[in-house]
Amino acid sequence: MRSRALFLYSRRVLLHFAAFTTRSSSSPRNPPEQLTAGGGSPLSALLQPPCGLKPDEYTLSKALKAAAEAFGSPDCGRRVVHGFVIKLGFQRFTILMTALVGLVIRNSGDLREAGALFDELTERDVVAWTSLIVGYAQRGHYQESLDLFRRMVSEKSAPNSYSYSGALSACSGLRLLSCGREIHARLLKVSSHEGIEPVLQNNLLHLYSRCQDLSSSKKLFDAMPDRDIISWNEMISCYLECGLGEDSLNLFARMISCGLGPDRFTYATCVDACGYIASLRQGIQVHTRIVKDGIHSDLVVGNALVDMYARCGSVGAAKVVFDTLSSRDAVLWSTMIAGYAKGGFVTEATTTFEQMLAMKIKPDEITFLAVLSACSHGGLVSRGWHYFRSMKEHHGVSANLEHYSCVVDLLCRSGHLDEALFLMKEILPNPSVSMWTTFLNSCRIHGNVGFAHAACDLVARDGQIHGNLVALSNVLAAQSHWNETGGIRRRMKEENVKKEPGCSWVETRDGFHVFFAGCRSHPKMHEILQALHGLNF
C-alpha cells in the first residue's frame, strides 16, 4: 500500500515536472532554476515526499515510465525523464538507467542514444543487454545486435529467451547459418529437460528457412511436440524458399488435416507457392478458401493473389483482385505493374504507373523496375529513359544494377546497340554477365558482328568471357562465320562450357509435364507428336 502511494505520488510530481519543462525551451540536461532540486520546485517535492516515504530506484523507474507514457508525447516525455535523472544524479542506479534505455528504444528508436546510455551503466543486468540487442535487431541493425550478444556472453552475463530471440533474428537477417547453429547448440546446452522454448524453436525455424537449410528445418519441425501456427508457417515458407512449391502446398494440406486454421501469412505463402509453380488450378482453390475465411480484403493476401494470377498468365483475374482491395500501398501497385509487364500489357503497365503517381503514392525501386521492364518489352525507348531519369531527380530513388540492366535491355530490343555498349563501357563500372549476354543476343538478332566482337573484347578484359561463349558462338553462327564459330565451340569444349537446354512445362489434370529442347523421353511423346502434326498453323 505504501509503495503504491509512493508510485502514484512520484508519477504526479513527474507530470508536473514535465509540464514545467514543456513550457521552457531549456534542454533537459540544463533545466531552469525553478526545476532544480532546491526551493519549492517539483523536484524538491519529490526528494521530500509525504509520510516519510523514501523512493527507491525501482519505484522511481516505474514512476518515470508512467510519467513518460502519460505525458502524451512519448519522445518529449522521455527527454524530460532523462533530464530529471541527470539532474538528480541517478545515473548510477542500474534499474533506473535500464528503464531509460528501454524508453529511448521504444519511443524514439534512437539507437545511438540508447547505446550511449547503455555504455554509461556501471552494472548491466540481463534486461539492459536484452533491450539493446532486441532494439538493434528490430530496426535492422543486425550486425550490431549480434556483436552485442557476443559481448554479453563474453562478459559472463546469462542471456534469457528474449536475448536469444534477438540474436537469432539478427542471424536470420544476415543469413549467418554458422552463427545460428552456434546459438542453437548453446540453447540445447542451457535448456531444461523440457527442451528449447517454442518461441525460440520458431526463431530457429525462421533462421533455417532464410538460410535455405531444409534438412535442419525439417529435423527441428518433426521433433517439435507442439506446433503452433507460426511453426507451420515457417516450415511451409522454408519449402518455398528452397524452391519446393509442391512440398509447400502438401504441408499446407497436412496442416489443414490436423485441424489447425490458417492465418493470413499461411495463405500468403501458399498463394506464393501456387504462383511459383504456375499452378492456376491450385491457386484458385486456395483463393476459394481465402474468400470463405473472409480475409480476401487483407493487403498481404491480396498482394500475393495479384502476383499469383499474373504469374499464371491470368492478368485479368489479377486486375479484379487489385480493384477489390480498398487499401493499396506501393507494394500492391508495383505488383500490378509488374504483372502487366510480365503479361506483355505495356500500355496498361505504364497507365497504372501514372495512376499511382496521380494518387500521390511514392514509387520505390521495385516499382521502377516493373515499369522499366514494361517499357523494355514494349520498345518504349523515350518513355523508358524518361522514367529512368525521373527516379533520382523527382522521386529520390537511386538506380541499381537491375535498373541499368532494364535500360540495356530496352536499348538492345529497340536496336540502339551503340548506346547500350556506351552505357556498359563508360557508365557502368562492372556490368553483369546477364547484361553482356543480352547485348550479344541482340547483336545476333540485328546481325551486328562488329559490336559483338567489341563487346567480347571488353568482356574478356573483365574476366567474364567464360559465361558468354555460348552467346558469342550464336552470333557468329547466325552470320555464317563458321571458322570463328568452330574456334569458339572448341574453346567451350576445352573449358567444359555447356549450353543449357531450354525447357517449358504445362499443367494438366494429372500434374505437371516438363519438356526440354531436343529431348523425346516423355512417355506420351508419340501421342504428343501426332497431335502437333494434326494442328493447322
Q: What is the pLDDT of residues 284-323, one digit of tens each?
A: 999 999 999 999 899 999 999 999 999 999 999 999 999 9
Compare 66 and 407 and report the one with higher pLDDT: 407
Q: Are residues 472 and 446 in the same domain?
A: yes
Alpha helices in 258-329 (DSSP H): 264-276, 280-293, 299-311, 315-324
Identify which of 56-60, 237-241, 492-496 has the greatest average pLDDT. Answer: 237-241
275: pLDDT strictly greater than 90: yes
Please give the distance of CA 452 from its chain centroid, rounded to a whole number. Answer: 38
Pairing of strands 503-508, 511-516: antiparallel
Q: Of 123, 145, 177, which closes a domain?
A: 123
Compare 110 and 418 and report the one with higher pLDDT: 418
CA distance 458 to 462: 6
The set of cell numbers assigned to 354 is 501514372
pLDDT on residue 294? 93
Crossing angle between the packed helical segments 346-358 and 365-378, to the nearest 10 degrees = 150
Q: Are residues 88 and 74 in the same domain?
A: yes
Place of cell 494434326: 534
Q: Are residues 4 and 107 in the same domain?
A: yes
CA distance 301 to 287: 9
pLDDT on residue 195? 83
Does residue 186 fall inside a structural domain?
A: no
Q: Are residues 375 and 475 in the same domain?
A: no
Q: Are residues 406 and 457 in the same domain?
A: no
Q: Of 89, 108, 123, which closes a domain?
A: 123
131: pLDDT strictly greater than 80: yes
For 478, the 3-state DSSP assignment is: helix
15: pLDDT strictly greater than 50: no
For 513, the 3-state DSSP assignment is: strand
DSSP secondary structure letter of residue 413: H
pLDDT on residue 22? 42
Does residue 348 fall inside a structural domain?
A: yes
Nearest to 71 by CA among 45, 97, 103: 103
Which range is least confidently modeled, 128-132, 297-301, 341-345? 128-132
32: pLDDT strictly greater than 70: no
Q: Are residues 27 and 111 in the same domain?
A: yes
Nearest to 373 by CA among 392, 415, 331, 345: 345
Q: Which residues contact 491 (CB under 8 A, 6 or more apart)?
A: 469, 497
Does residue 173 fall inside a structural domain?
A: no
Mean pLDDT throughout 127-144? 90
Nearest to 220 by CA among 240, 203, 244: 203
Q: Are residues 29 and 78 in the same domain?
A: yes
35: pLDDT strictly greater than 50: no
370: pLDDT strictly greater than 50: yes
- Domain interval for residue 518: 501-537
Residue 341: Cβ within 10 Å count: 28
Does residue 376 fall inside a structural domain?
A: yes
pLDDT on residue 493? 54
pLDDT on residue 137? 92
Does residue 162 fall inside a structural domain?
A: no
Share of the chain above pLDDT 70, in %: 65
Alpha helices in 344-494 (DSSP H): 346-358, 365-378, 381-395, 401-413, 417-422, 433-446, 449-461, 469-478, 482-494
Q: Are residues 405 and 377 in the same domain?
A: yes
CA distances from 222 to 6, 304, 394 (A): 52, 28, 52
Considering its fold, how many domains does the chain have in total?
A: 4
Compare 365 and 78 and report the one with higher pLDDT: 365
Question: What DSSP line would sit under 260-274, residue for residue?
Answer: PPP-HHHHHHHHHHH
Q: Are residues 446 and 469 in the same domain?
A: yes
pLDDT on residue 435? 78
145: pLDDT strictly greater than 80: yes
Mean pLDDT throughout 425-431? 73
pTM exceeds cut of 0.85: no
CA distance 156 to 250: 45
Share of the chain above pLDDT 90, in %: 45
Mean pLDDT throughout 167-189? 95
CA distance 79 to 87: 12
Residue 466 — pLDDT band, cuts 50, 70, 90? very low
Mean pLDDT throughout 151-172? 94
Q: Are residues 112 and 8 in the same domain?
A: yes
The set of cell numbers assigned to 260 is 489447425
Q: Are residues 23 and 69 in the same domain?
A: yes
Q: What is the average pLDDT value for the chain, to the nearest integer?
A: 78
Q: Of 123, 144, 177, which closes a domain?
A: 123
For 506, the 3-state DSSP assignment is: strand
Nearest to 313 by CA among 42, 504, 28, 97: 504
Q: Are residues 385 and 486 in the same domain?
A: no
Which range is least confidently modeled, 159-168, 331-340, 499-508? 499-508
Does residue 238 fall inside a structural domain?
A: no
pLDDT on residue 352? 97
Dihedral sign from CA coordinates of 237, 243, 249, 254:
negative
Does residue 193 fall inside a structural domain?
A: no
pLDDT on residue 505? 61
6: pLDDT strictly greater than 50: no
CA distance 488 to 491: 5
334: pLDDT strictly greater than 70: yes
Does residue 236 fall inside a structural domain?
A: no
273: phi then psi, degrees, rounded to nearest 5: -65, -40
